[in-house]
Amino acid sequence: MRNIQIMPMEKEDLEDIIAVERAVFPDPWSQTMFAEQLELPEIYSLITARMDDRVAGYGGLLRIRDEGHITNLAVHPEAQSQGLGKSLVYFLFLLALKESVKSMTLEVRTTNTRAQELYSQFGLEPIALRKNYYGYEEDALVMTIEDISVASYQRRLADIQKSLKCHIQDSLNLAS
């Protein structure tokens, strides 16, 4: 079982974040895009996952009133298939609940069935297709869940926590 530390993203992490971004996405976000989100903590929550004292993944949450939107999520290819993505999504949902978010939405590449399966575990369901969202030939599937504040969803998150493959050091102090 790997040790993972989940913590808030810091400006000092940006070079490592960009390295992960470039290793994962054909159209990576710029360092400026992440820096601008870090400057708006009232609406963005950005987290990193560290393995062996290096950034191995990250995730972002945009909050508007009681709606949450997962803006970006990536795990370095060398750290994939170890439960890190699931751990990041879990903590983004905990952050959302802490901020009184009720519904969650995201876009995922229609070709990324692994990510779609992961998001389905969290109750996100496809509701729409965004044509050419990732460029001229790449569509996005919009996935959502309406109410994560209900008791039945809390039980789902508790079950997900039990299924995590990693020992997690929670620097955000969110997990019970």
Q: Pick the catalytic residue: 119, 136, 137, 138?
A: 119
> Residue 73: CA atoms inside 13 Å, Cβ hemisphere, count?
26
Query: Is 107 annotated as catalytic?
Result: yes
Alpha-carbon dihedral angle through residues 164, 62, 124, 101, given to the nearest 10 degrees = 90
Structure token digits, residue 22: 């470039």
Catalytic residue among 107, 117, 134, 136: 107
- Choose among 33, 29, 35: nearest CA to 12: 35
Buried b (16+ CB within 10 A) or exposed e, 52-90: eeebbbbbbbbbeeeebbbbbbbbbeebeebbbbbbbbb
119 catalytically annotated = yes
Give the distance, in angstroms, between the CA of residue 164 and the centroid of all CA atoms in the same chain: 15
Confirm if 143 and 112 have CB atoms less than 8 A apart. no
Cβ atoms < 10 Å from Cβ of 99: 14
Supply the residues annotated as catalytic.
107, 119
